[in-house]
Every structure is written in structure tokens, then in C-alpha cells.
Structure 1
Amino acid sequence: MKATITPEAENAIADIAQRYGLSRESVLAMFFAVNAGGGTMAQFSIPELGGSGQWMRGGMTMVGNMFDNALKARVDALCGELAQLLATTPVFPASTTDYQVGFTSANWWPADLGVPSASGGQNDARYAIFPSTQRLAIQINGVTKVFDTGKHHIGGVQQQQGTGYGSASFTSQLGTFDVSSLPELGAQQVAETPTAAPAPRNQPDPAPRSAPQAQAPEPASGASGDSATIVADIESLAGLHQRGILSDEEFATKKAELLGRL
């Protein structure tokens, strides 16, 4: 499919091609690669630029000859200028599709993921990386899946020919991996966090329990109330007082009561 670009973009690409000593076709191919990468990265295969390679904004550039630093600098400068062109110039006429067949210019990932740091695609597969929310979105044949990237800080992407979610691999500070090692997110997988049952409202707090007070035993005085029985009761109370069961006040009160019966 041949993409249509605006006259302004066409003139800018022709000027860039002349300044870099490249053909219009090579610059246009790199332009589409930068566009597919969201203006922050590009995967390309351009003979005039050493064949297959990859560019990422911030200084990471890989070319066919890893020791050709001059070519790396040339690719980095070219991609940076094309990314600036994408940001400042109307490039595609309204309703034009992206360079990859079947890819519309509207965002295809869930809106709550935020703004991707990089996005791109090849054939019927495309990806978008969201470091702020630790998410990776991949779409295959119109079906989008979202993965949790966890501790990975993705810095590179490699897409192989083929189909399926395993056709793309990613590079982070932890090494190279594919989505098979990442947990897939979905509505059914978001479990509610169990919470403790709320305390019933409008229920009075139970009154604090106090230790039972020791009660003085009723004197075992006989019905006749004779002196001997009363004296025995006083002696019994004295024993309880000595053992600490009765307080001084309780002992004095009961003793006075018994003495009053004499």
C-alpha cells in the first residue's frame, strides 16, 4: 500500500534527502518507520543505511555494522530530524491510514493506559509501551491484550516474521523477554481485595467488665443470736480480713454490725 503524505511533508523529505545524500525512497522509508514507532523509535531495513537496524530516541542506535560509528551518528541525526518533522508538520491528509496496511491513525490501545513512550508494528501485529503505568499493549489481528511489565524498563523491541503474540521480543535492564513471561491483565483477572466486615452501626459499646468485688460472707449467726455465735462470726471475719479478702472498711462495718447484736 502506498501512503499519501501532504505537500509540506513531501517537500521536507526531499530537502532532508538532499542534505543527507540519500534517495527520497530511503528517507521516506525511514520516515514511515519513525512514524510507526510513535516518533520515539524505529525499526528499519534500508540498504543505503547499512541494512537492518534500530533507532531509539536518546542515543541508542543499532546498524548492520556495529562498529560503524559514523553511520550510527548519521542514522541518529536523520531519525531525530524526521521525528521533529512528525511533531511540527501536518504529515498525513485527514483519514489517511498508517503505513502498515489496516492500521488506522486513531489510538488502538485502552485510553486508561496513558501515552506510550514507544509504539510500532509489523504485518498484523503492533505494540505500545507504557512505562508510567507499567503496561504493554499488543494487538494481533484486531485483538488487543494488555500485559503487566512489572520491573522491566523496556529499551528495545525486536519483531520477527510470523504471527502470534510471541512474534515480538523486548529488551530491558533484566534481559530479553517476550509476553509469555508477563501476566496478562483482564477484567476477569482483577480480583477484589477482601476487606474486613464493617462494625455494626448504632450499636452501644459493651460496658467494660470490672473484676468482681469480694463480698463479705453473711455471718452464720444462729436464730437465737447468742453471744458465742456472734463472737465466732467476728473471728471468722477477722480471718477474712487478715487474708486480704475483706478491706479495712468492710471488716469494721461488719464487726460493728455484729457487736450491735450483743
Structure 2
Amino acid sequence: MPQLSPAGNEIVQRLGQRHGLSTDAVTHMLIAIHNGNGSMAQFNHPEFGGCGQWMRGGMTMVSDLFNYQLKSRVENICNDIANELANHQTSPFVGSFQSQSQGGQCQGSGNSQSQASGAMGSNNSLFIPDPDQNWWPEELGVPNATGAQNNVRYAYFPWNRRLAVKTGSDVWVYDTLDHQIGGFGQQQGGGSSITFTSQYGTVNLATLPVVSRNGVAAAAPSAAAPAASANNPSANNPSLSNPPADSDNGNMNRQQSAGNEDVLGTLERLGSLKEKGYISDQEFEEKKRDLLGRL
């Protein structure tokens, strides 16, 4: 959670007095709007009627749909906070992922996901600088979008087809192949598997080849990781372990297994394209026969 600077605390006190709100409520909304790149917020606080959404110049939603007084109060405080954020912004906002998770009824409550944080890639004098702000490998440059979900952080670099994922103290770098990533999701419980959305629909993070872990190149970056979760994105991933040298037969078996996974992954993507009407049933069947012949 971002920590307020002295200037941030002063503004929270002033806005709280102006709008008759507690400092906790104003701080909550300040962080929510900062996470929304200064123009939107998803919030959950009792002084704002619980769950709600705000978008600058757009629609404001509160849990009590017909409480117009509450809606006006939310709009007023959000507009004031957005103006203060803009006045204290010291670098442009980086784009943010839209992230969702299952397991909570409201954004920001329980185990559910707070909105992906664009604030991670920007500087604002209302907050104390995060020493771990640029946590991804330096050679990747500046990300096009950043995000956070529970204990996982994301940074996307589409121009060099790279995705950095941080879990705990570990930083993983994935090859995004031809995916155009637009958001992330995390299934709560049962391993907390990580998925992302692209032009192919919802895809498991484990299908992307691992390039490196903590700056150390993976042994076989072309092989997709068979499992990934919020707690251990390398679970059961042979490319991130350090096994003894295998025989030629062992290498051939691994290469054949990786090839089979590529074929099955391609079939899944073709099935998604057929469901969306991009290819015909006949085209799908012809391609399927060709791919299955490679197994």
C-alpha cells in the first residue's frame, strides 16, 4: 500500500475537513484514484456506501443506486482528489492492466483484486517513493502497462514481447509470443492459478515460455512452463531447475514433449478462433488433422 508523504497527509487532512470525511476515507479514495491513473477509481469504504466506481467526466456508481446525495458527495471528493494528484504528478502515468480475481464480492474487499495499479509506474509527490518501484530487469526498459494483483506484480513490454511477473522476491520474465495482453486474472484458492487475456481469449500464464528468473536465463526458454500460480509460477517447470546432464534420449523426449505441448496449445487457440467465427468448421478440421499428424 502506498505511503503518504507529508504533503499527502496535509492534503488528506484538508480535504477531509472540507467534505466532512475521515482521513481514512479520504486516504482510501486518494489511493484508489492514484491507482486509476488519476481519472478513475474502484473503491470500497463505508463512508462512501461500500463498493462503488468513479470515472472523471463519466459515470459514478454507488451501492445505493438512488442515493443521489451520496453520489454527489463521491463525485465532489473524487474531483478534488484528481485535481490534487494532477498538480503533484512529477512523471507521466504508465498504462495499467485491468485485473480481476474470483473469490470476493467487491473490489478491494476480502481476497478480491484491487484495480491494477498504474501508480506503480509513475511518481507523485503526495506519496513516499517506492524503493522497489522499478522491480523489473533494467534491460527491458519502460513498460507499456503495469499492474498488481494480491501478491503478484506485472509489467508488460509489448515491443520486445516480454512480460515480467514478480511474486515475493522472485522476478520471472516470459516471452509473450504473439499475444497482445490486455489484462490479468487470478483464481482464488486451489493453487491460485494466473491467467491473462489476449486476442486468443483467456490463457494460462504457464503456456508462455520462461526467459529468465531473477536475471538468470532459463535452461530451455523455448519450452512452455506446465504450471504457474501466484505462489510459485515455476511449479513443476523443468526449465527453472538445475538437473544433471541428461542422455541424448532424455533430451529427445523433452523436445518431443515440448513439441506436443505446442501442438495442443495451437489446437486450443484454433478452437477459440472457430468459436468466435474467425475460421470455418472445415478450416478447423483440416488444420486439426494436420496438427494431430505431428504428434
What is the TM-score normalised by the length of structure 2? 0.43
What is the TM-score normalised by the length of structure 1? 0.47
Which one has a bigger Cα radius of gyration? 1
